[in-house]
Amino acid sequence: MFNDTFNDDMINIVLRQAGADSIKTHLAHINIVTFQIAPDVKVTYVYEIKENGEIYVERTSPYPMLLGRMFDESALIEIIKNDVASFKNAYNSKNYDAYLQLVKSHIRFQLAAEDLFMKHNVDADDLDDLHSTYERLHQQLEEVKSRSEKIELEK
């Protein structure tokens, strides 16, 4: 127990030094870390340290995304620091709001697809059509990526 608390405390100290504006620790080693990257934008993470040493981290805002599972505190810190740096950079883009709208549309699609699958008996042909459409979108994303300049973030 002491060792787990020590790990939480050490991680939180490093994240605070990295610019975290708020860190809340709850029972069961669940930690909520918030970075204010702009007056109107917060990036928030939830990480949990399990008894076996596994660490799960998820970004919860500005939109939810599971960032990974690891066994090393330094890997957790690095993932969060890199993600914050990416968001700071993205926020300065003229396309930031459009990007957020795209991601929110994707999340709505994900929820609607799950609702469709879980609550309806969908014809196999309809599922094939949806899958083909999704594959075309994925291909389009790859094409846009291939012609877009890659951003190298400062560390």
Q: Report, as an integer, the average pLDDT of 88-104.
A: 94
Residue 51 backbone phi and psi in degrees, to 5:
-60, -30
Q: What is the mean pLDDT of the chain?
A: 90
pLDDT tens-digit map of 5-38? 557 788 888 888 889 998 887 776 789 999 999 9
pLDDT tens-digit map of 48-73? 988 888 999 999 999 999 999 998 89
Q: Report, as an integer, the average pLDDT of 112-127.
A: 96
Q: What is the pLDDT of residue 1?
A: 38
Q: What is the pLDDT of residue 117?
A: 93
Q: How far apart are the first and last CA of the chain?
A: 33
| Residue among 36, 150, 149 nearest 87 (CA) | 36
H or E segment at 53? none
